Amino acid sequence: MTRTDTGAVRPRAGSGPRRVRDTDMARLWHPYSTVPPAEPPYVVTEAEGTRLTLWAEGRSHRVVDGMASWWSAIHGYRHPVLDAAVRRQVDVFSHVMFGGLTHGPAAELAEVLVGIAPEPLEHVFLADSGSVSVEVAMKMCLQYHRSSGSPERRRFLTWRGGYHGDTFHAMSVCDPDGGMHALWGGLLPAQVYAPAPPGGFDAPPDPGYVEELERVAAEHARELAAIIVEPVVQGAGGMRFHHPGYLRELRRIADGHGLLLVFDEIATGFGRTGELFAADHAGVAPDVMCLGKALTGGYMSLAATLCTGRVARGIAEGEEPVLAHGPTFMGNPLACATAAASVDLLAGGNWRGDVARIGAGLRAGLAPLEGAPGVREVRVLGAIGVVELEAPVRVREATRAAVEAGVWLRPFRELVYAMPPYTCTAGDVAVVAAGMVAAAEASAAAADGGA
For ligand PLP, give the closer residue by CB, 173 or 323.
173
Enter the DSSP assignment of 127. Answer: E
Q: Is 264 annotated as a binding residue?
A: yes
For ligand PLP, give the closer residue by CB, 266 or 366.
266
Of 293, 354, 422, 428, the active-site residue reads 293
CB of 163 vs ligand PLP, minimal distance in Å: 5
Q: Are 273 and 233 in contact (CB under 8 A)?
A: yes
165 is a contact residue toward ligand PLP (CB under 6 A) = yes
Figure out which of the listed residues 118, 176, 274, 292 binds ligand PLP, where binding follows CB under 6 A: 292
User: x-or-dash pattern for ligand PLP, window 18-57, by CB under 6 A?
Assistant: ----------------------------------------
267 is a contact residue toward ligand PLP (CB under 6 A) = yes
Figure out which of the listed residues 129, 332, 342, 399 binds ligand PLP, where binding follows CB under 6 A: 129
Figure out which of the listed residues 82, 106, 109, 134 binds ligand PLP, where binding follows CB under 6 A: 134
CB of 293 vs ligand PLP, minimal distance in Å: 6
Measured from each CB, the residue nearest to ligand PLP is 130
User: x-or-dash pattern for ligand PLP, window 209-238, by CB under 6 A?
Assistant: ---------------------x----xx--
Whether residue 421 has a cis bond before it, omega within 30° of 0: no
Cα–Cα dist 68/77, whole Å: 9
Q: Is 163 annotated as a binding residue?
A: yes
Count residues near ligand PLP (CB under 6 A). Answer: 15
Q: What is the DSSP string of 276-341?
A: SSGGGGTT---SEEEE-GGGGTTSS--EEEEEEHHHHHHHHTSSS-S-----TTTT-HHHHHHHHH
Cα–Cα dist 265/294, whole Å: 10
Please, is 24 exposed, middle or buried when counting C-beta atoms within 10 Å of its C-beta (0-12, 13-18, 19+)?
A: middle
Angle subtended at Cα 285 by Cα 321 and Cα 123, rounded to the nearest 5 degrees: 35
Q: Nearest Cα to 233, choosing from 451, 35, 415, 42?
A: 415
Figure out which of the listed residues 76, 118, 130, 333 binds ligand PLP, where binding follows CB under 6 A: 130
Q: Are 123 and 117 in contact (CB under 8 A)?
A: no
Enter the DSSP assignment of 216. Answer: H
3-state DSSP assignment of residue 255: helix
Tell me the window of 79-87, 128-136, 192-200, 388-396 that interacts with ligand PLP (CB under 6 A). 128-136
> What percentage of the chain's residues is helix, strand, coil (to nearest 5)?
40, 20, 40
Q: Which residues bind to ligand PLP, rule: CB under 6 A?
A: 129-131, 134, 163-165, 230, 235-236, 264, 266-267, 292-293
Residues that are catalytic: 32, 163, 264, 293
Residues making up the annotated binding site for pyridoxal 5'-phosphate are: 130-131, 264, 327-328
